[in-house]
Amino acid sequence: APQEQEGPRRHVTLDQRALTVARAAKGFMPDDEGLALHRAGQAAAALGPLLEIGSYCGKSAVYLGTAARAAGTVLFTVDHHHGSEENQAGWEHHDPEVVDPRTGRMDTLPFLRRTLEDAGLEADVIAVVGDSPTVARHWATRVGLLFIDGGHAEDVAMADYESWSPFVLPGGLLAIHDVFEDAADGGQAPFHVWQRAVADGFTAGATTGSLRVLHRP
Ligand code: SAH
Ligand code: MG
121-147 per-position pLDDT tens digit: 999 999 999 999 999 999 999 999 999
Does the pLDDT at position 92 exceed 90?
Answer: no
- In the chain, what percentage of residues exceed pLDDT 90? 90
Rounded distance from Cα 8 to ligand 1 centre (Å): 32
State whether residue 92 is helix, strand or coil.
coil
- C-alpha 191 to ligand 2 mean position (Å): 12
pLDDT at 4 over 90: no
Q: How far is CA 163 from CA 105, 106, 126, 166, 211, in A?
A: 26, 24, 19, 7, 20
End-to-end CA distance of the chain: 8
| Residue whose CB lies within 8 A of the most ligand 1 atoms, among 35, 56, 177, for a mutation test | 56
**Sheet strands (E) in 63-116:** 75-79
Best CA proximity match to 29, nearest among 61, 51, 69, 65:
61
> What pLDDT does 95 receive?
94
Query: From ligand 2's centre to the CA of 77, what distance in Å?
Result: 14
152 is catalytic: yes
Top mutation candidate among 32, 80, 138 for ligand 1, by most atoms within 8 Å of CB: 80
pLDDT value at residue 8:
47
CA dihedral 112, 114, 117, 123 (to 10 degrees): 30
What is the C-alpha separation between 174 and 139, in angstroms, rounded? 17
- Summarised one tens digit per residue, pLDDT across range 31-68 is 999 999 999 999 999 999 999 999 999 999 999 999 99
Strands 203-208 and 211-215: antiparallel
Catalytic residue (choose from 38, 81, 152, 177): 152
- How would residue 13 be classed by pLDDT, with cut points 50, 70 and 90? confident
Residues facing 214 on adjacent strands: 174, 204
pLDDT at 3: 53
pLDDT mean across residues, the chain: 94
Percent of the chain with pLDDT over 70: 94
pLDDT number for residue 189: 98
Q: Is the per-residue pLDDT at 1 higher than 60? A: no
- pLDDT for 93 equals 87
pLDDT in tens, 189-216: 999 999 999 999 999 999 999 999 999 9
Ligand nearest to the CA of residue 176, numbered in listed order = 2
